[in-house]
Structure 1
Amino acid sequence: MSNGTATFWIIIAAVSASFGALHGFLFADGPNLAGILYGTCIGLLTIAYQRGVFLAGYSERLRRLPTPAYVVAAEISLVVLIVAGMALTGLLLWTLGIVEKPLTDAVTPKLSTIPFALVMSAVIVSVLRVRDLIGGETFLNLILGRYHRPVREDRVFLFLDLAGSTAYADRHGDLAAQELLKAVFSAIAEPVRRYRGQVDDYVGDQVIISWPLARGIAEARCVACVFAIRRALDGDRAWWLARFGLVPELRAALHGGSVVTAEVGVDRHKIAYFGDVMNATARLEGLCRETRKAVLISEAVLARLSRLPDGIEAEPLGAYHLRGRRETMAVHALADRRRPRRVGASVEVEAGRQVAGRGYAALRG
């Protein structure tokens, strides 16, 4: 569930409306239409602000402040937003004739309502923050207790690894490398949401993404997701070169099958996957280096796809013995024939790196 889905905003609206009804129970004669609409509008406005739908630049500048200053500024901003939202909502309801009171009363917030709105907004934001930290599906599964007992299920896994991240850290330092990883992980998020995958874990410079098998192979979503990510990175080539002196190259491996899924942990819970599929996918991603192919897919997944996305072609590479496995795995390389082929750093990219690298070094002083 992402910021852009209708489901997300419907849920936020419903929760906000329920808080509006709760306010009526606590501070009035009971819930009424005006209170519910006030709650809905204030909740939607607050979450839209928190999620960067508007005033995103302002929010980003606030985050750069020292923590004490940020906390104060963020709270003041939220109060101003809530007051403005109440006034606008009151104006709307007065215009529509839903509230029968003078205009000045309709647009003037009650002092008792502001603390309630702040608390309720904090509750929603906190829940969303936890959801964002562990992933939407993982959060829902933990709430529902779906994996309290281990279950066996079929899933497709995509392992993505940032090529050259260690060398970049050696040249520019760990902090700069972390900024690069943060930017790459951010760029990955939208295509993963679009193709209904879920990010299960970040391990160093590697991202683990998965789908329930039926969802991942339907319309070849797992494959389409890989190349949507690669196209997204290529589409912002100028920005990457200017900011980091390189265009990120990802190695990708797709494999799937039966795994055991379970909720693990005591103080910190997470949903983990166990089985040979996980080990095999990791080994398959490592095979990208040996074969000098950017995207590899196992025969087990490729055979289940009714067709590949337009422009994507599969090249059989034969059977490989992967470390830690007795059986061989039939492997195919995937390539987008509409995308210029690049293995490592091409002359064009390397030249861009040198130019952008000089500019980046000048910026660093």
Structure 2
Amino acid sequence: MRFSPRWFYLVAPGLGALAGLLYGSIFPVGPLLGSAIRGAIIGTPILLYERRLLWPRMRERVRHLATPLFLLATVALYIAMIVVGNALASTVLNRLFRFMYSERNAMLMSQSGLLYALAISALVVFVFRVRDLIGPGVFANLLIGRYHRPISEERIFLFLDVTGSTRFADRHGDQAAQAYLGQVFNALALPVSHARGSIDDYIGDMALVTWTIERGIRDAACLRCVFDFAARLAAESEAWTQRFGQVPEFRAALHCGSVVTAEVGLERHKIAYFGDVVNTTARLESLSKSLGVHVLVSADLLNRIGPLPPDLIAEDLGAHSLRGRDAPLAVAAIRKRD
């Protein structure tokens, strides 16, 4: 489930309070109200941190670490937030609710309380790391078993190809090219998240991003994602040039239609899409290269989106024949208004 930032400021204290109530039920250390308040105060900053609403830049740096270092750094941050949160909770309970906590022992925390908080924190770290590794959308859908049985649905597909990566590898070597592509795809994650999309796969120097049709066409989110990504690369151009000697460039192709979505695999589960739409989007990405277009969109998708936002312009490029399709497909180039 995805909450807007505004709603999550209310959801986070509620989830923290539930964890506190659970602790108060297991370890009868006082009134359940006190446990709930303590849980809300301790849990809220941790949950806000994980939702990029608290210290987002620090969280992004930590997420780039190798998994063992990521776990150590995250648990250390959690411990710091738990200790400070516990001190604040004790002070609030003492001054506002006249509970038994004194200012002298406000910084103290019981051994069971610390172990419980660390256990919950470790569980949260593990869940979010697995979520990051396989993708938020895929993780949620696998968890609830949405595609355990094949489902026919309409989706939007974006094939985003990082141009010039082969030349970069020839000049700097494969390891440098991997680091370069890794940073490019890291930069793509936030625009996709803001557009409520899902990065479902990486194929060489290309990323496959998908949306349900409702999310993707709302406020032209699928197109916004592409141009937000371009804007982020431009804003960080100096850092890219200093580290890699160039600013990444890309081509994007978007199409929509009906697909069959299902879980595949036994030892390694994956959500896969079956249908002509995926192949057609791949053909459009190749067509964008031959046409010299940075962002190419099918007329089918443009018709579903409706009127474009004022800052975007569509240039009709006519109908083109694509390998594997009987009928030509009308396409358009999308660009920012000058």
Conserved? CA contact 2:50–2:59, under 8 Å: no
Supply the distance in 2 between the matched residues of 1:125 and 1:66 (Cα, whole angstroms). 11
TM-score, scaled to structure 2: 0.89
Supply the distance in 1 between the matched residues of 2:67 and 2:224 (Cα, whole angstroms). 41
Residues 70, 336 of structure 1: CA spacing in aligned structure 2 closer, same or farther, 3 A cutoff? closer
- Counterpart in 1 of 2:272? 272
1:1-365 paired onto structure 2 within 5 Å: 5-8=5-8, 10-28=10-28, 32-48=32-48, 53-54=54-55, 60=61, 75=75, 78-338=78-338
Across the aligned residues of Structure 1 and Structure 2, the Cα RMSD in angstroms comes to 2.9
Q: Any gaps of 5 or more consecutive residues in structure 2?
A: none
Question: What's the CA shift for 1:176?
Answer: 1.7
Question: What's the CA shift for 1:13?
Answer: 3.3
Conserved? CA contact 1:34–1:98, under 8 Å: no
TM-score, scaled to structure 1: 0.82
Supply the distance in 1 between the matched residues of 2:132 and 2:65 (Cα, whole angstroms). 20
- Counterpart in 2 of 1:344? none
Counterpart residue identity of residue 148, structure 2 = H
Q: Any gaps of 5 or more consecutive residues in structure 1?
A: 339-365
SS in 2 for 1:105: coil
SS in 2 for 1:101: coil
After superposition, the C-alpha distances for 1:105-144 in whole angstroms (9 at most, x for unaligned) are 3432112211111101111221222222223232222222
Question: What's the CA shift for 1:62?
Answer: 11
Residues 276, 31 of structure 1: CA spacing in aligned structure 2 closer, same or farther, 3 A cutoff? farther
Residues 58, 229 of structure 1: CA spacing in aligned structure 2 closer, same or farther, 3 A cutoff? closer
Conserved? CA contact 1:25–1:31, under 8 Å: no
Residues 122, 4 of structure 1: CA spacing in aligned structure 2 closer, same or farther, 3 A cutoff? farther
Counterpart residue identity of residue 181, structure 2 = L
The share of aligned pairs that are identical, in percent, is 44
Counterpart residue identity of residue 97, structure 2 = G
Residues 58, 84 of structure 1: CA spacing in aligned structure 2 closer, same or farther, 3 A cutoff? same
Larger deviation, residues 208-217 vs 257-266: 208-217
Question: What's the CA shift for 1:72?
Answer: 6.3
After superposition, the C-alpha distances for 1:211-260 in whole angstroms (9 at most, x for unaligned) are 21132223222222221211221222222222211111110001000000
Question: What's the CA shift for 1:311?
Answer: 2.7
Supply the distance in 2 between the matched residues of 1:309 and 1:179 (Cα, whole angstroms). 35
Question: What's the CA shift for 1:147?
Answer: 1.0
Supply the distance in 1 between the matched residues of 2:269 and 2:313 (Cα, whole angstroms). 40
Residues 149, 72 of structure 1: CA spacing in aligned structure 2 closer, same or farther, 3 A cutoff? closer
